[in-house]
Structures are given as structure tokens and as C-alpha cells.
Amino acid sequence: MVDTTQDAAQDPAPATKNEQPKGGSKVAKNSYADWLRDDLGGVIDMLDLTDLQKHYMRSRWLDQVIWMEGRAGQARDRYYLLRRTTIIGGALVPALVGLNSPGGSLGDFVYWLIFGISLVVAVTAALDEFHSFNERWRHYRSIVEELKVIGWSYIQLGGQFANFKTHKEAYVTFVNKIEEIIQRDVEIYVSTVAAPKQRRQADEDAQTQDGVYATSDERSPILP
């Protein structure tokens, strides 16, 4: 007889379904996106719709939900990183200035440390202002939640779809709602995220021109 006790003891235990994936937050985010795609994709397969209608729900509604979920999380993480760096650095600089003493090696070290932290604070604040990650995060989050509400209301035939008896009857209304949200998403993004920088630049240019005109008028003689 062959003794399999030692071989069994040396074999590794099989992986369980509850085992958490390794690799950090990036793997977790990808896992959530995959889970969301599989979960909602399975729900779409159960609906009484044509293949073309199901394809629209996957490529237009579900794809937008997953994409905006990722963009919202990315913008949130970058906003938190920049803001926390700015806040911590801004709090450290005054404290280091108070500890700094003129002359000596310690004073030189603290001086350059203050300079480096101040530079980091200035860069992070400028990046936060330029990219508007806070506005991007709130924008994507509000849009994706609205898409989810419309999608689940259509799937359950509730809310604004409660008057329809089947998903086929409510399909055209659902498509119109999704297209309306996506079109409004573009308009809101342009007006609230991209436009403020352009308006600020235009205001600065207008103020500069007004200052030039005012200076020119003050130096020119007043005609009767």
C-alpha cells in the first residue's frame, strides 16, 4: 500500500471563494468594476428584450455606469491626495519656521526643509486648482448615481416606469432618459469644470485691458 498521508499533508490547501485578492486598491477597484459588469450584465440577460436592445443597455448604459464609477473614484483619490498634502504641508511650514534658528547646520537644514515643503504645497495647490478634481469627483458621482437610479427603475418597472407593463414597452422611454442624462452630462461638464478656468482667464484679461485703458485715459488730455 502507498502511504498518502505525507503527500496530503504537503499539498497546499485549495483556495476558497472568500479569499481576498492581493495587490492593493487597484486590484480591488478592478474587481469591483468586474463584479458590477457581471452583476448588471446578468440582470440585463434576464430581461425580456431583443438582442439589439440588450446590446444597447450593455454598451451605452452599463458602460457609462462603469466608466463614470472609475472616473469618480479616480478624481476623489487625487483630490484627497492633493488636499491632504497641501493641508499637512501648510501646517508644517509655520511650525518649522518657529523652530528654525539663524546660523548653524540645523538652521540650514530646517531652511531647506521649509523651502522644499513650501514648494510641494505650492505645486499641489496649483494642480488641485488647475485640474478641479473636486468638481470632477462630484460631477461624475452625481451622474453615475442618476444613471443607476434610472437603470434600476427600468429593470424593476418602478418610479417613472411604473405605468408600463413590460420592459419592451418602456424601452423607448428608457433610451430617451439615458440619452438625456448623457447629453446633460456633457453640458454640465463643460459649464462647471472646463468653463471656470476659461472665465477666470477671460476676467483676468479683461481686468488687464481695463487697467491699460484706464492708465491711458488718465495720461491723455481731457478734450472739451
| Residue 141 belongs to a domain | yes
| Residue 145 belongs to a domain | yes
pLDDT at 196: 54
Between residues 76 and 16, which one has the greater pLDDT?
76
CA–CA separation, 222 vs 210, rounded Å? 18
Residue 130's pLDDT band (cuts 50, 70, 90): confident
pLDDT at 197: 57
Between residues 8 and 50, which one has the greater pLDDT?
50
pLDDT at 212: 43
Three-state SS at 132: coil
pTM confidence score: 0.65
CA–CA separation, 70 vs 120, rounded Å? 27
Q: Which residue has the cell 468586474?
A: 34
CA angle centred on 156, ends 150 and 160, rounded to 5°: 50
Between residues 207 and 47, which one has the greater pLDDT?
47
Show Cβ contacts of residue 192 under 8 Å, excluding neighbours closer than 6 positions: 135, 139
| Residue 133 belongs to a domain | yes
Asked if 173 and 163 count as a contact pair (C-beta separation under 8 A), the reply is no
Torsion angle in degrees (nearest 10) through CA of 205, 210, 216, 217: 170
| Residue 16 belongs to a domain | no
| Residues found in the chain | 224
Between residues 112 and 148, which one has the greater pLDDT?
148
Residue 122's pLDDT band (cuts 50, 70, 90): very high
Cell for 216?
Answer: 491711458
pLDDT at 22 over 70: no
Asked if 153 and 160 count as a contact pair (C-beta separation under 8 A), the reply is yes
| Residue 201 belongs to a domain | no
Cell for 152?
Answer: 434600476
Nearest to 71 by CA among 151, 149, 143: 143
| Residue 119 belongs to a domain | yes
71-80 average pLDDT score: 92
pLDDT at 61 over 70: yes
Determine the residue type at 172.
Answer: V
CA–CA separation, 202 vs 194, rounded Å? 13
**Averaged confidence pLDDT in the chain:** 77
Query: Range of 161's domain?
Result: 49-165+173-195
What are the strands, taking DSSP E only, across the chain? Answer: none
Nearest to 114 by CA among 94, 133, 138: 94
Asked if 135 and 193 count as a contact pair (C-beta separation under 8 A), the reply is yes
Nearest to 120 by CA among 94, 146, 95, 87: 87
**DSSP state at residue 120:** H
Query: What pLDDT, in 10s, does the model give residues 144-192?
Result: 999 999 999 999 999 999 999 999 999 999 999 999 999 988 887 777 6
Residue 141: burial class (beta carbons within 10 Å; 0-12, 13-18, 19+): middle
| Residue 125 belongs to a domain | yes
pLDDT at 114: 85
Residue 55's pLDDT band (cuts 50, 70, 90): very high
pLDDT at 98: 76
Asked if 157 and 174 count as a contact pair (C-beta separation under 8 A), the reply is no
How much of the chain exceeds pLDDT 70, in percent?
Answer: 68
| Residue 27 belongs to a domain | no
Domain count, the chain: 1
pLDDT at 128: 87
Nearest to 170 by CA among 46, 56, 43, 49: 49
